[in-house]
Amino acid sequence: MEPQVRMRDALAFFLVVSLSLLRRSSFALSHHDLQIVHAERRIDLASHIIKVFLTLKVENTGTSIASEVLLSFPPNQVGNLAVLKASAVVGKRKKKAYLSLDVKPKLPDGPNGAKYFSISLLNPLSMGESVALEVLYILTHSLEPFPAEISQSDSQLVYYRDSAVILSPYHIKHQTTFIKTPSTKVESYTRLEPTNHAGIELKYGPYDEQPPYSFSPIIVHFENNHPFAVVEELVRRVEISHWGSLQVTDCYKLIHAGARHKGVFSRVEYQSRPSLSGVSSFKNLLARLPPRVHSVYYRDEIGNISSSHLRLDSKKSELEIEPRYPLFGGWKATFVIGYGLPLEDFVFESPDGRRYLNFTFGCPLIETVVDKLIIKVILPEGSKDPSFVAPFSLQQRLETSYSYLDVVGRTVVVLEKENVVPEHNLPFQVYYKFNPIFMLAEPLMLVIKLLEKFQSVLEQIRVIRQLT
Ligand X SMILES: *[C@@H]1O[C@H](CO)[C@@H](O)[C@H](O)[C@H]1NC(C)=O
Minimum CB distance to ligand X, residue 267 (Å):
25
Candidates 18-26, 204-212, 240-248, 297-305; binding stretch for ligand X (CB under 6 A): 297-305
For residue 414, CA distances in Å to 52, 397, 422, 426 come to: 31, 5, 20, 17
Minimum CB distance to ligand X, residue 389 (Å):
7
Q: Does 91 bind ligand X (CB under 6 A)?
A: no
Q: Does 75 bind ligand X (CB under 6 A)?
A: no
Nearer to ligand X, 4 or 304 (CB): 304
Phi, psi for residue 112 in degrees, rounded to 5? 55, 30
Identify the residue among 297, 325, 392, 402 touching ligand X (CB under 6 A). 297
Minimum CB distance to ligand X, residue 301 (Å):
12
Three-class DSSP category at 315: coil
Residues near ligand X (CB under 6 A), total = 6
Minimum CB distance to ligand X, residue 360 (Å):
7
- Among 90, 116, 117, 85, which Cα is nearest to 100's? 85
Rounded CA-CA distance 366/298 in Å is: 16
- Terminal C-alpha separation, the chain: 111
Residue type, 294: H
Minimum CB distance to ligand X, residue 348 (Å):
6
- Among 404, 419, 323, which Cα is nearest to 363's? 419
Residue 194 preceded by cis peptide, ω within 30: yes
Strand partners, 177: 41, 204
Nearer to ligand X, 127 or 389 (CB): 389
Identify the residue among 3, 91, 108, 303 touching ligand X (CB under 6 A). 303
Q: Does 306 bind ligand X (CB under 6 A)?
A: no
Q: Which of residues 342-401 bind ligand X (CB under 6 A)?
A: 358
Q: Does 324 bind ligand X (CB under 6 A)?
A: no
Minimum CB distance to ligand X, residue 361 (Å):
11
Nearer to ligand X, 160 or 339 (CB): 339
Q: In what order do the strands lie in the sheet with 383-389?
A: 347-349, 355-360, 427-434, 383-389
Q: Which of residues 422-451 bind ligand X (CB under 6 A)?
A: 427, 429
Nearer to ligand X, 23 or 316 (CB): 316
SS3 content of the chain, % helix, strand, coil (to 5): 20, 50, 35
- List of residues contacting ligand X (CB under 6 A): 297, 303-304, 358, 427, 429
